[in-house]
Amino acid sequence: MYLQKLSLMNFKNLTQHVFEFKDKINCFVGNNGVGKTNVLDAIYYLSFSKSYFNSVAIQNIRHGEEFFMLEGSYVLEGRDEIILCSLKKGQKKIVKRNGKSYDKFSEHIGKFPLVIISPADRDLIVEGSETRRKFMDSVISQQNQLYLKTLIAYNKILVQRNALLKYFAANRTFDAVNLEVYNQQLIWYGGIIHRERKDFLEVFTPIFEERYKTISEGKEEVNLVYKSQLLDVGFPQLLNESLAKDKVLQYTSAGVHKDDLVFEIGGYPIKKLGSQGQQKSYLIALKLAQFDFIKKQSNVLPILLLDDVFDKLDENRVSQLISLVNNDQFGQLFITDTNAKRTEEVIKRINKSYKIFEL
Ligand SMILES: Nc1ncnc2c1ncn2[C@@H]1O[C@H](COP(=O)(O)OP(=O)(O)O)[C@@H](O)[C@H]1O
Ligand SMILES: [Mg+2]
């Protein structure tokens, strides 16, 4: 699968562009702030129907404009496919595949798999559990439509249950029978999510360990530890035990929406003890493992976006990355760099067709 052509209008700082891509390597070069990352985000958007960097949809419309439009022409299993995403202020987002609107955007996720490696990945280490849950969910969701649907259903019930808890508090009332209706659904969907996350990590962790070994030249032991309240106690009991607290807080304080993934190195959380270099390697290994995982599950080579990676890595890691790209494990690649000369030098070492776009 690869992206042949991208047309965009008013996406972030970009006005109007048409790019014709190579099926292997494409580079965007230019000074800071010209919009290199924004082009990658446009490509990300076409796969996920949302931005990687800005979750507030309308903020992706160019300042002073009324709408943005993205159109990607892909080749998927030998067929041409056209994806269109557009958003107009005050209207609903539109996502179309070959001219046909999706009923639910979730149906689009995973059809054009993509992995992004970006300096913003640092959030995975420094931020709270939500970013890591989202990472885990996004990796699983690209492979598993049912998981994504279950997750959406769980979150919907969670919102409703929280609203009910608020209602109870506001009206100084309580209705156990009514609450139980929500509990049952939460337990049902939460159980599926918990099992899927567990199963996923069993497959994913060894892939990740392998990737980390090749990137870091195999010095430290790394591990991904799934933290979930549901590992210790069943969901019905968990909800019972936290009921008193939930009534006070007026929201659901326990469940799979509190899960976390602890990034360990040498048996300790990398957040506290990893060096800068270790943290970088860790993040790249995670993303390359995501790539491997998708490839393994679906036999499709995801598009890989590398945002400023040459900038952030020492020579050694760059060479390693290049040799990975070189031995045909990868499909289509999009790279950004401020340094046009360096990019050209690195890319020439790879024996693949490439194109450099100056922004
Ligand atoms: N909605 C928007 N309208 C106009 N400009 C935007 C919008 N969103 C982001 N930008 C601008 O895009 C620029 C950053 O582009 P970016 O792709 O990150 O640059 P690069 O990666 O080339 O350094 C910033 O100057 C930012 O203010
Ligand atoms: Mg950038």
Q: Would you say the CB of residue 67 lies under 6 angstroms from ligand 1? A: no
Q: What is the predicted pLDDT for the residue at 58?
A: 96
The model's pLDDT over 192-231, given as tens digits with 9 standing for 90+, comes to 999 999 999 999 999 999 999 988 876 789 999 999 999 9
The model's pLDDT over 266-325, given as tens digits with 9 standing for 90+, comes to 999 998 888 888 898 899 999 999 999 999 998 889 999 999 988 766 666 777 777 777
Question: Could you tell which of 11, 12, 65 is best to mutate to test the pocket of ligand 1, judged by most ligand atoms within 8 Å of the CB?
Answer: 12
Q: Would you say the CB of residue 15 lies under 6 angstroms from ligand 1? A: no
Residue 282, number of CB atoms within 10 A of its CB: 25
Q: Would you say the CB of residue 59 lies under 6 angstroms from ligand 1? A: yes
Instruction: Specify the residue with its C-alpha closest to ligand 1, atom 18.
Output: 37
The overall average pLDDT reported for the chain is 93
Q: Would you say the CB of residue 12 lies under 6 angstroms from ligand 1? A: yes
Instruction: Specify the residue with its C-alpha closest to ligand 1, atom 9.
Output: 12
Q: Would you say the CB of residue 183 lies under 6 angstroms from ligand 1? A: no
The H-or-E segment that residue 257 falls in is none
Instruction: Specify the residue with its C-alpha closest to ligand 1, atom 5.
Output: 13
pLDDT > 70: what percent of the chain?
97
Cα gap 303→102, rounded to integer Å: 22
Catalogue all structural domains in the chain, each as residue range(s) with its CATH number.
1-113+301-359 (3.40.50.300), 128-299 (1.20.1050.90)
pTM here? 0.94
Which atom of ligand 1 lies nearest, measured to the CA of 59? Answer: 1
Residue position matching structure tokens 């996920």: 48
Q: What is the predicted pLDDT for the residue at 206?
A: 97
**Confidence tier at 136 by pLDDT (50, 70, 90):** very high
The DSSP code sequence of 97-131 is ETTEE-SSGGGTTTSS-EEEE-GGGGHHHHS-HHH
Cα gap 238→331, rounded to integer Å: 45
Instruction: Specify the residue with its C-alpha closest to ligand 1, atom 4.
Output: 13
The model's pLDDT over 317-350, given as tens digits with 9 standing for 90+, comes to 777 777 777 776 788 999 999 988 888 888 888 8
Give ion ligand 2 contacts, CB < 5 A.
36-37
The yes-or-no verdict on residue 115 having pLDDT over 90 is yes
Q: Would you say the CB of residue 13 lies under 6 angstroms from ligand 1? A: yes
Q: What is the DSSP letter of 61?
A: B
The yes-or-no verdict on residue 91 having pLDDT over 80 is yes
Residue 136 near residue 261, CB atoms below 8 Å: yes
Tell me the CA–centroid distance for residue 35 and ligand 2, in Å: 7
Q: What is the predicted pLDDT for the residue at 216?
A: 81
Which atom of ligand 1 lies nearest, measured to the CA of 31? Answer: 22
The yes-or-no verdict on residue 140 having pLDDT over 70 is yes
Residue 303 near residue 43, CB atoms below 8 Å: yes
Q: What is the predicted pLDDT for the residue at 215?
A: 82
Residue 67, number of CB atoms within 10 A of its CB: 17
Instruction: Specify the residue with its C-alpha closest to ligand 1, atom 27.
Output: 13
Q: What is the predicted pLDDT for the residue at 218?
A: 65
Q: In what order do the strands lie in the sheet with 268-269?
A: 222-227, 260-265, 268-269
Crossing angle of the two packed helices 176-216 and 129-141, in degrees rounded to 10: 80
Residue 171, number of CB atoms within 10 A of its CB: 9
Q: What is the predicted pLDDT for the residue at 321?
A: 72
Instruction: Specify the residue with its C-alpha closest to ligand 1, atom 14.
Output: 33
Residue 356 near residue 29, CB atoms below 8 Å: yes
pLDDT > 90: what percent of the chain?
80
Q: Would you say the CB of residue 41 lies under 6 angstroms from ligand 1? A: no
Lowest mean pLDDT, pick from 5-9, 10-14, 155-159, 323-327: 323-327
Q: What is the predicted pLDDT for the residue at 343?
A: 85
Tell me the CA–centroid distance for residue 13 and ligand 1, in Å: 5
The yes-or-no verdict on residue 191 having pLDDT over 90 is yes
The yes-or-no verdict on residue 161 having pLDDT over 70 is yes
Q: What is the mean pLDDT of residues 250-276?
A: 93
126 CB-contact burial (10 Å; exposed 0-12 / middle 13-18 / buried 19+): exposed
Ligand showing the shortest atom-to-Cα distance for residue 89: 1
Question: Could you tell which of 8, 9, 10, 13 is best to mutate to test the pocket of ligand 1, judged by most ligand atoms within 8 Å of the CB?
Answer: 13
Tell me the CA–centroid distance for residue 12 and ligand 1, in Å: 6
